[in-house]
Amino acid sequence: MDIIILLYETIVSTLVSMGKIALILVPVLIMIELARHFKIIELLTGKIKGLLKFISLPEEAALPLFAGIFFGIVLGSALIIEYSREGFLQKRDLLLIGIFLSISHSVIEDTFLFSVFGANPVIMITTRTILAVIITRGAAYIFDHFSNKKVA
């Protein structure tokens, strides 16, 4: 009997917290879809050259990178896979995008979701972005250094 009551209480409290999640998640997902539809990312790419330069990526990398950051790896995967097939980017750049996205992706959705439970959104986004930038920069350094040695 205990178990049934326990399960019942769990389901009720889960539904309540899911209601809270839905209230936040649905508008966010709609906004993300709208942003995708109106190609907001394409408009933004011109303005983030500084960051791209710092992690030593060419401008063409902006689209898959930012699609991943804002929409998430699964939603952005279409773009990521397309870019990897079409050969717009060099292998090195593609790999760096992969590393950056591994650490920092779908920041909007994740952040909203966890803030429902009381997480601090500013700290979440800052930590992930800073770590992603540092690690990608480091990987770029190692990668260039290593491949130069191999050539020479």
Return residues touching other proteins (CB under 8 A): 2-3, 6-7, 9-11, 13-15, 17-18, 21-22, 26, 73-74, 77, 80-81, 84, 91, 94-95, 97-99, 101-105, 107, 110-111, 113-114, 117-120, 123-124, 127-128, 131, 135
CB of 85 to other proteins, least distance (A): 8
Q: Which is nearer to other proteins, 15 or 47 (CB)?
A: 15
Q: Which is nearer to other proteins, 91 or 145 (CB)?
A: 91
Q: Which is nearer to other proteins, 43 or 74 (CB)?
A: 74
Alpha carbons 84 and 103: distance in angstroms, whole number: 19
Q: SS3 for 55?
A: coil
Q: Which is nearer to other proteins, 4 or 47 (CB)?
A: 4
Q: Which is nearer to other proteins, 41 or 72 (CB)?
A: 72
Assigned token pair, 126:
């800052």
Backbone dihedral angles phi then psi of residue 39, each to the nearest 5 degrees: 55, 50
CB of 138 to other proteins, least distance (A): 11
CB of 81 to other proteins, least distance (A): 5
CA angle 32, 101, 80 (to 5 degrees): 70
Alpha carbons 45 and 47: distance in angstroms, whole number: 5
CB of 96 to other proteins, least distance (A): 8
CB of 120 to other proteins, least distance (A): 4
Cβ-Cβ contacts under 8 Å for 135 (sequence gap 6 or more) = 99, 100, 103
- Write down the residue that tokens 């130069």 correspond to: 148
Cβ-Cβ contacts under 8 Å for 7 (sequence gap 6 or more) = none
